[in-house]
Amino acid sequence: MLQDKRVLLIIGGGIAAYKALDLIRRLRERGVHLRAILTKAGGEFITPLSVASLTGEKVYTDLFSLTDEAEMGHIRLSREADLVLVVPATADLMASMAHGIARDLATTALLATDKPVMIAPSMNVQMWNHPATQRNLRTLEGDGILRVGPGSGDLACGEVGDGRLADVMDIVAAADRFFDRAMVANRPLAGKRALVTAGPTHEAIDPVRYIANRSSGKQGYAIAEALAALGAETILVSGPTTLPDPAAVTTVRINSAREMLAACEAALPADVAVCVAAVADWRMADDAAQKIKKNGGAPPMLNLVENPDILATLSSRAKDRPALVVGFAAETEKVIEHARAKLGRKGCDWIVANDVSPATGIMGGDDNTVHLVSRAGIEDWPPASKADVARRLAQRIADHLKEPTA
């Protein structure tokens, strides 16, 4: 969880400041990018040089340093992090945070940050138990500040009780848990499986000719990518396209409708299926083994049979029917009317309908205007890029799987 995360470490002035050096090492071993602010008091216990040597970065110490402000600035410093860690958080730092006091670089960055802050308090037991510190603690908790420790035991001052800095590995674990929780919140489809069909299918007439629908595959690929970005294990079954495989998606390339159906059935079970493919409705009853020659005669009669309907087949499965089956309706007139009829005919849960008349430029283009048709009603979505439509649909799917509506 910690790999490539950016942490701003604020080192306060307490005897436990030296443990911040070990913390830096442990976080760096786990791939964390660290920047550090050393308070003036912190600098009485450890040196900027040792902090810089371990973080591999310049150490920031002074709010009024011309070079620091020109190079980085306290606002940027406080924002370019995924988490701000205060170790050790002294009684003085906690009081400043609770009261919004910004008198040096550390306290100014803590006031200016828009990122989550986690404190690891460390102080004498009487200071920790003092009503003022406990009041400040409650204020900080009310402000959403995260906390690890303090622990209890022998204190550096010779007294015994609460106030020991949490073990370095406990601070590492708390940071790890924080990123784990953040990831779950950002990835609502984690643990879910998604199946997406996209592109056209090619139905062979003979070894050189085929029947196909127009389809670039762009919308379907964008949907597969958006579902994967929300954490779904995503399988994209794609007909022939010129698009590269989307990131973090298992792409299965097929040619014909029957191959697409077989690949979809092999991909089950899935929590959601989104059928975006422009499947050819018909195929040859018998495709010719050799190229059909003109030979100057009449054009050949194409003896066609209907292809399996993948959307309808997935929707009507007794076993392993995905909890949510979504179809697309590419129409050139009476968009909503046809979409509603399709919803009933195919037995799916939602239809994403769009007008693909040549004048709209949707076919092959980068933008789309869609309507989400379900038994609960119709949502008209504003014109957007295919990527945005995909992201909105993926989020809508995540919301639905969490709390099914219609």
Q: Report the interface residues with ligand CTP, using CB under 6 A.
A: 197, 257, 275-277, 279, 281, 307, 309-311, 327-330, 342, 346
Q: CA angle 77-82-86, nearest 5°? A: 70
The token duo for 265 is 């059935």
CB of 250 to ligand CTP, least distance (A): 19
Nearer to ligand CTP by Cβ, of 120 and 389: the residue is 389
- Report the C-alpha gap between 405 and 245 in whole angstroms: 32
Nearer to ligand CTP by Cβ, of 55 and 256: the residue is 256
Nearer to ligand CTP by Cβ, of 229 and 275: the residue is 275
CB of 355 to ligand CTP, least distance (A): 12
CB of 277 to ligand CTP, least distance (A): 4
CB of 312 to ligand CTP, least distance (A): 7
Q: Is 157 a catalytic residue?
A: yes
Nearest to 86 by CA among 156, 165, 154, 164: 165
Nearer to ligand CTP by Cβ, of 106 and 257: the residue is 257
Characterize the bridge pairing of strands 160-164 and 151-154. antiparallel
The token duo for 59 is 């150490």
Characterize the bridge pairing of strands 367-368 and 384-385. antiparallel
CB of 380 to ligand CTP, least distance (A): 19
- Report the C-alpha gap between 333 and 345 in whole angstroms: 18
| Rounded CA Rg of the chain | 30
Q: CA angle 359-362-367, nearest 5°? A: 125
- Report the C-alpha gap between 158 and 258 in whole angstroms: 78
Nearer to ligand CTP by Cβ, of 91 and 235: the residue is 235
| Length of the chain as a residue count | 406
Q: Are 370 and 223 in contact (CB under 8 A)?
A: no
Tell me which of 157, 264, 275, 348 is the catalytic residue. 157
Place of tokens 């009485």: 44
CB of 227 to ligand CTP, least distance (A): 16
Nearer to ligand CTP by Cβ, of 96 and 215: the residue is 215
Q: Are 235 and 250 in contact (CB under 8 A)?
A: yes
Torsion of CA 180, 185, 186, 189, to 10 degrees: 100
Annotated catalytic sites, by residue? 157
